[in-house]
Chains A and B, each alone.
Chain A
Amino acid sequence: MIRYLVNRLALSVVVVFGVSILVFLMLHLVPGDPAVVMLSEQANASDVQHLRHELGLDQPLWAQYALYLERVVHGDLGRSIRLRLPVSELIASRLPNTLELAAASLSLATLVGVAVGAVSAVRRGRLADNLAMVGALIGVSLPGFWLGLMLILLFGLRLGALPIAGNQDGLASLVLPALTLATVPMATIARLTRSGLLDVLGEDYVRTARAKGLTEFAVIVSHALRNSIIPVITVVGVQFGVLLGGAIIVETVFAWPGLGRLLIDAVSARDFPLVQGIMLFISVSFVLVNLCADLVYGYVDPRIRYG
């Protein structure tokens, strides 16, 4: 187990290193100069040149990357060119909002998805199953921005029941963006749960459990579901990793101050240190969340061994 962990962590370092090089190169290869963006229309060429020098943008790419790497190793992600604040401080200020949204949407997706999938499997071929699967198909197909706008129209404007955008109204602000964000994973989880359960419901150990006199609920939850949940854990893990990087579209539609919006604004302004910092954070989170998901497999299914 320890060896497995060490191996995975070592591999993770390689992945993160690779991501950082890719992001660095991509940022420098696309057109757009942060000095021009920052100085806006007021600047002349010597101002731009001066600022490029101040920011180290006039150095060769490898030298810029080496400097960046050296800083990162020392725990310094640099300062945002545009917002002039430490990158780590900016990430820290947006992270709670992103975590809140990710946790809420994923909890909702998992709870509802597993429940609907389970009911659907148990009621296979009946009305509930058909309704659930049509619903899941629609859920997977709905574009987030469209659904978001429709929810704003219905619950925000028409009914006036929920805040339209921002996070100023506490938990109520969370409902619409979390619901929008939860729809696709919820539908995916429902479909996975259903197919996983259908695979195991005919197994001998399920029949044995029923023969022991267990209630159907106990049979499904304690025996069948536990053995069919691995793909769901994978989806939840991957999705959580994705959401930690912020949900750009949903955050934009709902003016939610999370990492996704910070990232897209940074890309638009060619704010190199901020983009690199956020991407580094996202890749580290993604790798770690996936590692955690892999470790949970062993807990859920003791047959899985690491080595």
Chain B
Amino acid sequence: MTRRQVSAPMRSLGLLFCALLAACGTSQTTSNTTATTPVKGGTITLALSAGWDVLDPAATAFTFSRQIMQFIYDPLLARDPKTSKIVPGLAQSYNVSSDGTTITLKIRGNVKFHDGSVCDADAVAFSLNRIQDPALKSPMAATISGPVQSIKATDSSTVVITLKKPFAPFLDSLTQVSLAPVSPTAVQKYGKDYGSHPVGTGQFMFQSQVANDNVVLVRNPDYKWAPSFYQHQGAAYLDKVVIRNVPEDATRMALEQSGAIDVVYAPIVSQLPEYQSNRKFYVVQATRPGMPRSFILNTAIWPFDDPKTRQAMPYAINKEQILKSAYGNIGGVADSILTPNLFGYSKATGSTAPSYDANKAKQLLADAGWKPGSDGILVKDGKRFSITYGSQNTTSFNIQDQILQANLKAVGIDMQIQDEEQAAILDDIRRGKWPMSTMLFAATDPDVMYTILHSKSIGTAWNTSKYSNPQMDALLDQGRTELDQTKRGDIYAQAQKLVVQDVPYIPFYNIKNPYIVNARVHNFGYDTQAFWVLYDTWVSS
């Protein structure tokens, strides 16, 4: 039995359960939000909605693995969550040569891994070079091997990274936990099993785990190298962090309500208003940067190989209704292929994006040669406008897909929904199985557009619309090598304009991840990638 089969009936019962849960009620108590002096100690328990794989930054790309690793490892550079600017992390300074091909990192002194070994330039160079080791099968290998010529430690505190040619997104890569230093001593000691015995320099140390079920982390008492944007320096306040995998939505909500866990990931959206009005809890909404959730129009096959037909589509879709009904108004309507919180987002392009206008959609479709058939469905060259749309069977997707289906029906398009589970859909979207489908792509640099729109990314990366336009390719190539931030911003603005014009994707939803937090938790934070940050967090007794 697959997860989908299990979860479909469970979901509907989950909703019933939650209605009962609400009826069950909780007493309204005053939260401790007035307290301002952080208290050291205590345990925080977080519940994720799925599992993770390994806790080796170089060996995984799973979101939840990266979330857990954010606590264990420190990236070389960091992004200030308020300004999104790149600031020093484990590297106390960085310098990019004028030709953009040499990056020099100065590593902080006196930094130690959790096993007591020193984190110096040798350890950093070892960690970065290790990612390219074929035996590791690292999903990040291309990040290094693509742009990098060599990585060398020139003295105990200096690492020099030589690039094959200027590559503007590389600094962003250095802010990712995937490129964070790992203890060479621990890698040697644990070998293939390192991912189950992670040793970094981070705010919390790995204590134990039951694979894919729970992880226990404890405070790193020696920690004194936090980036400057945090509210305090020194060791974290919390004694212990427990992360649990609780796959069933209703159970996760019950655990949160009972106080058995402090923070819940992926809460049931319809329940959020109750938690927002309950002083025992508060709701945090963290914006996910990158490519918004978008509908993919497969430009390589009928009927979306016709640009005129594609151009009609955004007018047919009621994005506001999807946001309201499927996502409980958490987040926003997307108007560009980049989210507004990402460097390079063009507000000017966003303001020109088509908004819902079914009549205009009908008119544009008529201009494209579509005529209503006897059953109301459009026909062109003897072919009915009937398409299959690939999606997944989740509560939000079901609502979103039904709205889309109704919107398209209203303009004369027949859409059949074909649901697949995660493993299958990734493969099929990439192969271009359907004329229409949906995807998003989390990223912290506008170079994400290369991955989803460059013709070289067709079949090799995630250009799932199979969009090929030499003008777009040239812009995206330029965006990779341009080091001047203003010029780089202009380049991506032009590229976004092309997306509005050619419609390979219809961005519709800027995602915000809602988290329900128990009021005993103070200073609960999240970073620019919407990952949880617990360094300044403390709990009331």
Which of A's residues lie within 8 Å of B, judged by CB?
A: 30-34, 36-47, 50-51, 54, 79, 82-85, 90, 93, 143, 145-146, 149-150, 152-153, 156-158, 160, 163-166, 168, 248-249, 252-255, 257, 261-262, 264-265, 267-270
Contacts and interface: CB of A to CB of B under 8 A. Distances in A.
Given A166-B244, A262-B212, A32 B137 contact: no
B248 A252 contact: yes
5 contacts: A31-B420, A84-B196, A166-B214, A267-B2, A268-B422
Contacts of B420: 31
A257 B430 contact: no
Given A51-B137, A93-B210, A152-B254, A45 B59 contact: no
Contacts of B461: 43-45
Contacts of A262: 212
B214 A253 contact: no
Contact of A149 (B1, B14, B134): B14
Interface string B225-257: 000000000000000000011111011001101
Contact of A44 (B14, B422, B460): B460
A267 B246 CA distance: 17
Most chain A beta-carbon neighbours within 10 Å: one of B24, B51, B442: B51
Contact of A37 (B255, B260, B423, B442): B423
B257 A157 contact: yes
Given A31-B424, A156-B254, A149 B247 contact: no
A249 B10 contact: yes
B244 A268 contact: no
Contacts of B426: 32, 36-37, 41
A10 B314 CA distance: 64
B286 interface: no
A43 B142 contact: yes
Contacts of B214: 166, 168, 257
Most chain A beta-carbon neighbours within 10 Å: one of B245, B260, B428, B457: B260
A164 B428 CA distance: 38
Most chain B beta-carbon neighbours within 10 Å: one of A33, A150, A168, A268: A268
Contacts of B273: none
B61 interface: yes
A278 to B, nearest CB: 13
Contact of A248 (B6, B14, B140): B6
B424 A32 contact: yes
B53 A83 contact: yes
Contacts of A93: 210-211
A199 to B, nearest CB: 36
Contacts, number: 167
A31 B428 contact: yes
Given A83-B54, A165-B251, A252-B247, A269 B423 contact: yes
Given A51-B137, A84-B195, A255-B245, A41 B61 contact: yes
A45 B17 contact: no
B51 A265 contact: yes
A255 B246 contact: yes
Contact of A42 (B54, B61, B137, B255): B61
A85 B212 CA distance: 11
Contact of B251 (A45, A253, A257): A253
Pairs A-B, 4 closest by C-beta atoms: A32-B423, A40-B61, A257-B213, A31-B424
Contact of A84 (B13, B59, B422): B59
Interface string B1-30: 111001001100110010011001000000
Interface residue SS majority, chain A = helix
Contacts of B140: 42
Contact of A30 (B50, B143, B424): B424
B541 interface: no
A267 B212 CA distance: 14
Nearest to A144: B10
Given A42-B140, A152-B254, A145 B245 contact: no
Contact of B3 (A47, A156, A268): A268
Nearest to B441: A41
A241 B408 CA distance: 50
B6 A39 contact: no
B212 A83 contact: yes
A255 B248 contact: yes
Contacts of B428: 31
Contacts of B137: 38, 50-51, 54
A158 B17 CA distance: 13
Contacts of A51: 137
Interface string B424-451: 1011101000000000011000000000
Contacts of B306: none
Contact of B10 (A54, A85, A253, A265): A253
B120 to A, nearest CB: 28
Contacts of B213: 255, 257, 261
B366 to A, nearest CB: 38
Contacts of A150: 17
Contacts of B9: 143, 145
B192 interface: yes
A268 B142 CA distance: 26
Contact of B427 (A31, A79, A84, A255): A31
Contacts of A41: 61, 426, 441-442, 462
A33 B427 contact: yes
B1 A248 contact: yes
B53 A82 contact: yes
Interface in B403-424: 420-424
Contacts of B142: 42-44, 46-47
Contact of B247 (A34, A82, A153, A261): A261
A156 B258 contact: yes
A99 B459 CA distance: 46
A163 B462 CA distance: 44
Contact of A268 (B2, B14, B248, B258): B2
Interface in B82-120: none
Given A149-B13, A149-B14, 10 more contacts: A36-B427, A38-B53, A46-B142, A149-B17, A150-B17, A153-B17, A156-B254, A165-B255, A252-B6, A268-B422
A109 B174 CA distance: 57
B460 A152 contact: no
Nearest to B135: A54
A50 B53 contact: no
A32 B421 contact: yes
B139 A47 contact: yes
Contacts of A38: 53, 137, 139
A39 B427 contact: no
A42 B1 CA distance: 29
Contacts of A157: 21, 24, 254, 257-258
B11 to A, nearest CB: 10
A179 to B, nearest CB: 15
Most chain A beta-carbon neighbours within 10 Å: one of B9, B213, B461: B213
A45 B459 contact: yes
Contacts of A166: 214, 244, 246
Contacts of B260: 163-165
Nearest to B193: A85
A85 B459 contact: no
A40 B3 contact: no
Contacts of A146: 13
B423 A165 contact: no
Contacts of B250: 149, 152, 253
Contacts of B244: 166, 255
A158 B51 CA distance: 28
